[in-house]
Amino acid sequence: MVIALLIGGVLALGLIAVVLWRRTPAQAASEVRAARPGAAAARAPSVAPTGETEDAREPEEPPPYATDATQQVLDDCLKLAFGVTRFDYQIVGEHAAVLTSAQKAVAESVARREYFPRRPRQLPRLLQAINDTESTREELVRLILEDPALAGSVLQRANSAHYRPSAEPIESLDRAVVLLGTDGLRALMTHAILQPVFRLPKGLFDDFAEVTWELAERTAWSAEAMARTQRDADPFVAQLLGVMGALASMVLFRLTLEKYRDYPSVLPRAEVFIRVIQANRTETALRIGESWELSAASLAALDEQRRRVSPAHMSALGRAVYFGELCGAAMLLRARHTYSKEGAQALLLQQGAGREAVHAMERSARCPD
């Protein structure tokens, strides 16, 4: 028995010796390093495990359409427009009846000219002609002449101090078109669409039209700048779509005001107007676009806002509209020193706008430093 144990021990020692003899110096050194305390923690695999690569990691969640931060910026603009510090009061009684009545009438109001903005009759053809490099000046003049109100706006703008080269008045529409140029005509189109809608009777929420007009301008400028950083997004179309949200707000304001006339003894409350605007703005903007017979791409961009699509998944034109509205609102607050430059930039970056786009929008929206 003792002899058998001795023989087994000798054989085991022999096997160990063979293994040690066959190891390379590099293998031995590697094992020594691995045996040191903490060595396992210090090592990092140079190759990912089988079936896993760097690209297989869980992708980052795309930013949602709305966050607490984005909603706060938009809400603060509404507070500014209505001159209130809060609007979370409970709505009851006749005010609740007005709210319900206005909500029900939104879909029907698309046919009411007193609510919806007048579309220049030649808008689709003018948009096409302005953006077509082969269009002649004579063709533009002919289209403008078909809309007397627009022709008057062109002459009025050409005679402004910014464009008129001398004291001699500009009476020729052809010369006015030359002076305004493509960019001037595009800007005029936006103003021609907006101005009739932004006339409200004084005496009730007098700051609303002025603040909403400024918001529309800053949004349009921002949307145009954002479009210039995107592929497949026409800057002028983005500028036009950028004013749709403000137009929708004006339409909903008029609609709610009309519903209050059914209760002449009731003083209108800001929170009723704000609730109607918050609930129906993007839907109404899309309805305006449809009534104006805008392009399929334009309507798709507006519908992305209505469906609250993540900006990461929007079309290029949809992203221009989305970030135009967000930047326009932030710049409106910055101009009144209620929002910081750093806060505005962080908000836009967090939602997925690149730094180049953020700086371009800031410059276009004419923000204070």
pLDDT at res. 158: 87
CB 367 within 8 Å of CB 334: yes
- Residue 272, pLDDT > 70, answer yes
Q: How high is the mean pLDDT of the chain?
A: 81
- Residue 124, pLDDT > 90, answer no
pLDDT digits (tens, 9 = 90+) for 177-195: 888 887 778 777 767 666 6
- Residue 29, pLDDT > 50, answer no
Residue with the larger pLDDT of the pair 255 and 128: 255
pLDDT interval class at 14 (50, 70, 90): very low
Q: Looking at this protein, which amino acid is placed at residue 36?
A: R
- Distance from C-alpha of 241 to C-alpha of 247, rounded to nearest angstrom: 10
CB 346 within 8 Å of CB 72: no
Residue with the larger pLDDT of the pair 173 and 35: 173
Residue with the larger pLDDT of the pair 108 and 31: 108
- What sections of the chain are H helices per DSSP? 2-22, 25-35, 39-42, 68-82, 93-105, 123-131, 137-145, 148-158, 173-194, 207-228, 235-242, 244-260, 270-291, 296-306, 316-335, 341-350, 355-364
pLDDT digits (tens, 9 = 90+) for 65-118: 999 999 999 999 999 999 999 998 999 999 999 999 999 999 877 667 666 666
- Residue 297, pLDDT > 60, answer yes
Q: What percent of the chain clears pLDDT 90, i.e. is strictly above it?
A: 46
- Distance from C-alpha of 209 to C-alpha of 83, rounded to nearest angstrom: 12
Rounded alpha-carbon distances, angstroms, from residue 286 to 167, 221, 329: 44, 20, 20
> Which sign does the torsion angle of CA 83, 89, 94, 100 carry?
positive
The DSSP annotation for 201-258 comes to -TTSSTHHHHHHHHHHHHHHHHHHHHHHTSTT--HHHHHHHHTHHHHHHHHHHHHHHH
Domain with CATH 1.10.3210 in the chain: 68-117+203-364
- Fold held by 68-117+203-364: Hypothetical protein af1432 (1.10.3210)
